[in-house]
Structure 1
Amino acid sequence: MNEYPDIADHGLIGDLQTAALVTTDGTIDWFCSPRFDSPSIFGALLDKERGGHFSARARGENVKTKQLYFPDTAILITRFMTEDGVGEVIDYMPVASDTPSERHRLVRQLTCVRGSIVFDIAIAPRFDYGRQPHEVTVTDDGAMFTAGETTMTLNLIRDADLERLARAEQTDAGDLRFTLSLVQGQTRGLVLEMNGAPEPRAVPVDEARRLLDDTAHYWQDWIGRSTYDGRWREEVERSAITLKLLTYAPSGGLVAAPTAGLPEQIGGERNWDYRFTWVRDASFSVTTLVRLGFYDEAAAFGRWLRDRIAEQAGSDTGPLNIMYRIDGDPHLSEESLEAWEGYRQSFPVRVGNDAAGQLQLDIYGEALDALWHAHNAGIAIGQPGWIAIGSLLDWLADNWDQPEEGIWETRGGRKDFTYGRLMCWVAFDRAIRLAVAYGRPAPLARWTEQRDAVYNQIMTKGWNPERRTFVQQYGETVLDASLLKMTQVGFISPQDPMWLDTLAAMETELVSDSLVYRYDPSASPDGLRGSEGTFSLCTFLYVDALARADRLDAARLTFEKMLTYANHLGLYSEEIAPTGEQIGNFPQAFTHLALIDAALTLDEHLAARRPGRRTNP
């Protein structure tokens, strides 16, 4: 029997400062606090013995479970169906404030909706990735866990004046186990509070219900601001809520995923920590959120980006790192949790990310493209922001023509990646447009000269005349799905013969039953052992490219096929294995961003198609 749940067998809850994963059997097996990038408290997802967990499961044989989100919210409901009754565990985190906080609440509300049901509950925290021992004190109202300066209070949801619940049984390891029996109509539960009240307290059922209602209203009000009314509303809005869950509200930074160490190949070494803000991912989020009408979130990241540029102005390493901690800290030193076995023995388990020191030239184009889209949405760039842009472009003008590590963060050395040059072209192009639009002072002649030089270089060195395709890096023949962005950013017409030949070559080598590989590691060594699955971002980029090439029937079919790879809640990890299993960190912001963009592009092109018209497959 497999001792680890499938990566896809999880839902996500969060409070806009941190998040937790909940399995379909009611176990929280990943939770870090007080921030996304803090050490884990529950980490059984990466080591079933050492990681720690918080489970609430219905007792009985042949228990069936179903999981869903309360409509238009980030409130997760896990339903248990037994021979004696039906029960629900409602998991959520009340939304935290926009200021950094050490206090976070995780609520598990247990209800019997029919018959009777017995829940077995186990709380086994492992602080600081299991490296910090803890003590526990049990009271009638709950328990207090203490690990160094960290405290975690367990408050019981119950009517204090009517009943007492049996005290939890304490194990030698400092874990708690107890049983909760409910009959139809009863609601009880637990509230975990990080660094909050000094003693446990009974939380009245009515108070818990009000907290649930307030949380539901927050999410419903937020998603109600979406301007999307297209064909795939359910999928788009679930992706939007997921992106919001991955946003650190105090800074506006977006984490690439809430997890670390989930493998791109089961048993392999491609296991990375994604709990940080990538300039690339977060820049794409600005464009996507603007298209959905979420201007506040787009503006918040714009400020975050401006601050990062200003901090590194004049630096020899360039005006931007490729990633930062969610508060803007650039230090992300990588280490391996040597004692942890990894998800299904996928070792090493890395925390931190050494790729932070890489040179990736594409981030400048992605950042400027985001600011251009924000401008078009009415989000103005102030004078400090314009000075930061000028500093960025000054550096790029002197440094774009050099080898780099590339978008995929390979560890095989610096190379002349075509995609990196493509996005340098975007950076100069968008900066020129912004200068003209605002009437701001700028060295337009120099920026134009550099933009044109990048364009000509790509057309000569990035194009392989023998293969008749744009290639991953200069002087090579390998294809790269990142170049699907070429038509999206306006570098080349989607009907240009050079582009159509490139798209045809990708379909032959990178596309497998609509799913798209990033590149072929065997043909382009990336410094790592093993292989990987298809990259979900690239599949949605392929949909976008097909739509722009007026191949709408093929685009729509590919999109609909990709939707079948979502998990039961509409969530996606980074990649899809050849078996159809989700692999890689979960859920991944990049994938959900690309899903939204693909849906919007498809909607626009389908709306423009005349009734009865057919397109090439």
Structure 2
Amino acid sequence: MGSANDEERVSMTGDRFTPIEEYGFVGNLETCALVAPNGSVDWFPFPHVEGPSILAAILDADRGGRFRVTPTAPFEGAQRYVDGTNVLETTFDAADGTATVTDFFPPAGKVDHPKKVLYRKVVCVEGRVELEVEFDPAFDYGRADPAFVSTEKGVRAEGADERTLLEVPTELDVSDGRVTGTLTVEAGDTEWLLLRCTGAEDADTDPEGALADTIRYWRDWVQTCRHEGSGCIFEGPWHDLAARSGLALKLLTHEETGAITAAPTTSLPEDIGGVRNWDYRFNWLRDAGFTVQALSSLGNSEGATEYFEWYMNLCQADDPEKIQPLYGLHGESDVEETELEHLDGYRSSRPVRIGNGAADQTQLDIYGELLLAVDEVLQLGRELDDEEWEAVHDIVEYVRDVWRDPDAGIWEVRGEASQFVYSKVMCWVALDRGIDIATTHGYEAPVEAWRDARETIKEDVLENGYDEDVGAFVQAYDTDALDATGLLIPSVGFLPFDDRRVQNTIDAIEDRLLEGDVLVKRYDGDDGLPGDEGAFVLCSCWLIDALALSGRVEEAIDRFESLTEYVSPLGLLAEEIDADTGAQLGNYPQAFSHVGLVNSTLYLGHVRGYESPGAEPIGIRLGDPVSPEDG
């Protein structure tokens, strides 16, 4: 483990599956690719991140497909990002020499270079290195057999509706459905390997210019995280982690729509060998408030506003009852879940799924999270037009009517609907923020009726959601199960941080859901699925936030420092952590994990007296944190 600037050093043992946390990822703001420290691109959907894969060895070592550039002799691999960028370097130390492969895509719409080209620059640093090149495309998740044609530039491969052209400065052989070759470089040599995809097969390219412009773009963008001389929290000890998280979130953002994908992968397991394998290549509305906060906290108010406008368009297009928990990155509502039975899955974790059936669920918490995002953007100075306010007004009215209904909850349980406490709290949030927005900005609304409903919800939650015998807010009415979402009750302003029920809930969660120093499980109730799962990174961040804002600052800092030990050397996080091994689990990199990391630095900075470049933390206006002296 180490900081975001450390190199990742891995001895190549010939394992068929690379540990999830050892991957770096690159992308063009439309799609992403995962690169292993042995130089193998093991995941690459195209043309968009939610599209069918061209390379998917991470999901099936035999049938998934890969693009590998690896020394023929034994070696050690190390990865790092070029400082302040999403340009990835993989360095091979072999017996006779050292070579570096630099991987990147030009960011779509940001530089004047073809975006549908994966550039791989090979430089021999010293000595002599012989590299094996293997290109094994498996179009449409391996369901389409590729057809190959040799050309003057290289080898063209076609399958399903997509085409690739591999350009390599050496002779290539095509046999057994794959392309192979050998490339030898000596000290000072530079060679370029280009994987051109549909639409860019014949495009003019300037590899060195593309690299320089891509580096320049990312470094210009990351300056929005720095605010030199402003005294903001990101000048503190966790600046590099926050900046890397910002770069990851930007790379998960779709340039055309502003939507942010939950993760660029599908079916990476929460339980190795189990069935908890989901497709996360969609945008969840529940992420909205926390993501907008993270972006604005990083100083990226433009990104926060673009994301806000994207989901406001969705809300305006549908009546509140028709708003889905998740959508495709272009606003698609049809994301039917299917299983790919021909793929073995990561480390035999089946099924491999594409699409996500949670889109059809009722999740009442999403409305509160949407209102959190609206409130956050208004704090940035954005105003609502009449149509936007009408959409917000209708959402609040809808919540007033349906808050008593059971739902699937934030964790999308696939069992019976329940009266989840967090869903009730977020319905309260929808009304609370709706009231505040209407009164502060002069929008027309039935404010007194909303106030009555808000009070009724609060009374109901306090009566049925807090269990004196358990000594905590529970997961759902009529159960003694705990849920980490109880940590958010003070953060959203439902109760003050020094309320005994809040502090009791924090203590109970530490007692029952905490593993080790900081790793927090989502819940300890039944969710209708077999198997277990790891600790949730986001929930660990929620614990840190709750402690910090309760005045337990040193405890929060200690736990945050413990959490940073699980961040990959490249500064990346999956959805979950295996508490026994420290291995990362689930889809990777996970936007919500990086959102949690950024927001925790915000909360820690807030209680330590640093200024934030964006708005105050969510909930601070309604539930002031306990000062360290009072804690």
Q: TM-score, normalised by structure 1?
A: 0.93
- Give the Å deviation of 1:30: 0.5
Q: Any residues of structure 2 matched to 1:309-328 within 5 Å, and which?
A: 309-313=315-319, 318-328=321-331
Which among 233, 244, 254 is matched to residue 260 of structure 2? 254
**Inter-partner Cα distance in structure 1 for 2:170 and 2:304:** 49
Q: Any residues of structure 2 matched to 1:561-600 within 5 Å, and which?
A: 561-577=562-578, 578-600=580-602
Which amino acid in structure 2 is aligned with residue 432 of structure 1? I
- Give the Å deviation of 1:199: 4.9
**Inter-partner Cα distance in structure 2 for 1:532 and 1:442:** 44
Which whole-Å deviations, capped at 9, do the CAs of 1:495-536 have from their partners, x for residues lacking one? 111111111111110111123333444xx2211000111111
User: Residues 98 and 200 of structure 1: is their aligned pair in 2 closer, same or farther, counting only changes over 3 Å?
Assistant: closer
Which among 229, 239, 252 is matched to residue 235 of structure 2? 229
- Give the Å deviation of 1:362: 0.7
Matched residue SS, 1:488 = coil
1:573–1:585 Cα contact (<8 Å) kept: yes
Which among 436, 441, 462 is matched to residue 439 of structure 2? 436
Matched residue SS, 1:153 = strand
Are 2:139 and 1:152 aligned? no
**Inter-partner Cα distance in structure 1 for 2:334 and 2:91:** 42
Q: TM-score, normalised by structure 2?
A: 0.91
**Inter-partner Cα distance in structure 1 for 2:157 and 2:42:** 18
**Inter-partner Cα distance in structure 1 for 2:110 and 2:313:** 18
Which amino acid in structure 2 is aligned with residue 144 of structure 1? R
Which among 455, 458, 463 is matched to residue 460 of structure 1? 463
**Inter-partner Cα distance in structure 1 for 2:200 and 2:54:** 18
Matched residue SS, 1:568 = coil
1:535 maps to what in 2?
A: 536
1:603 maps to what in 2?
A: 605
User: Residues 454 and 518 of structure 1: is their aligned pair in 2 closer, same or farther, counting only changes over 3 Å?
Assistant: farther
1:14–1:245 Cα contact (<8 Å) kept: yes
2:54–2:141 Cα contact (<8 Å) kept: yes
Further displaced range: 566-575 or 103-112: 103-112
2:358 maps to what in 1?
A: 355
Which whole-Å deviations, capped at 9, do the CAs of 1:471-515 have from their partners, x for residues lacking one? 100111111001111111111111111111111111110111123
- Give the Å deviation of 1:607: 2.9
1:142–1:200 Cα contact (<8 Å) kept: no
Which amino acid in structure 2 is aligned with residue 74 of structure 1? N
Are 2:488 and 1:482 aligned? no
Q: Any residues of structure 2 matched to 1:487-502 within 5 Å, and which?
A: 487-502=490-505
Number of aligned residue pairs: 594
**Inter-partner Cα distance in structure 2 for 1:22 and 1:601:** 33
Matched residue SS, 2:362 = coil
Which among 169, 179, 182 is matched to residue 182 of structure 2? 179
Matched residue SS, 1:65 = strand
2:368–2:427 Cα contact (<8 Å) kept: yes
Are 2:166 and 1:167 aligned? no
Which amino acid in structure 1 is aligned with residue 122 of structure 2? L
Are 2:271 and 1:265 aligned? yes
**Inter-partner Cα distance in structure 2 for 1:98 and 1:260:** 27
- Give the Å deviation of 1:214: 0.2
1:417 maps to what in 2?
A: 420
1:94 maps to what in 2?
A: 106
- Give the Å deviation of 1:339: 0.8
**Inter-partner Cα distance in structure 2 for 1:401 and 1:514:** 37
- Give the Å deviation of 1:328: 0.7
2:106–2:115 Cα contact (<8 Å) kept: no
**Inter-partner Cα distance in structure 1 for 2:64 and 2:534:** 26
**Inter-partner Cα distance in structure 2 for 1:331 and 1:363:** 18
Which among 353, 358, 375 is matched to residue 378 of structure 2? 375
Which whole-Å deviations, capped at 9, do the CAs of 1:512-568 have from their partners, x for residues lacking one? 1123333444xx221100011111100011111110111111101110111010112
- Give the Å deviation of 1:102: 11
5+ residue gaps in structure 2? 1-13, 228-233, 612-626
The percentage of aligned residue pairs carrying the same residue is 36
1:138 maps to what in 2?
A: 150
- Give the Å deviation of 1:55: 0.5
Which amino acid in structure 1 is aligned with residue 107 of structure 2? V
- Give the Å deviation of 1:137: 1.4
- Give the Å deviation of 1:148: 3.7
Which amino acid in structure 2 is aligned with residue 116 of structure 1? R
- Give the Å deviation of 1:319: 4.4
**Inter-partner Cα distance in structure 1 for 2:137 and 2:182:** 18
Which among 315, 319, 331 is matched to residue 334 of structure 2? 331
Q: Which has the higher contact order (CA 8 A, sep 6+)?
A: 2
**Inter-partner Cα distance in structure 2 for 1:504 and 1:536:** 18
2:409 maps to what in 1?
A: 406
2:172–2:181 Cα contact (<8 Å) kept: yes
1:12 maps to what in 2?
A: 25
User: Residues 412 and 519 of structure 1: is their aligned pair in 2 closer, same or farther, counting only changes over 3 Å?
Assistant: same
Which amino acid in structure 2 is aligned with residue 404 of structure 1? D
- Give the Å deviation of 1:29: 0.4
Are 2:36 and 1:23 aligned? yes
Are 2:309 and 1:307 aligned? no
5+ residue gaps in structure 1? 157-164
Matched residue SS, 1:607 = coil
Matched residue SS, 1:381 = coil
**Inter-partner Cα distance in structure 1 for 2:175 and 2:375:** 58
Which amino acid in structure 2 is aligned with residue 8 of structure 1? E
Matched residue SS, 2:278 = strand
1:505 maps to what in 2?
A: 508
1:212 maps to what in 2?
A: 211
Which amino acid in structure 1 is aligned with residue 540 of structure 2? T
Q: Any residues of structure 2 matched to 1:266-305 within 5 Å, and which?
A: 266-305=272-311
CA RMSD between the two structures: 2.0
**Inter-partner Cα distance in structure 1 for 2:190 and 2:550:** 55
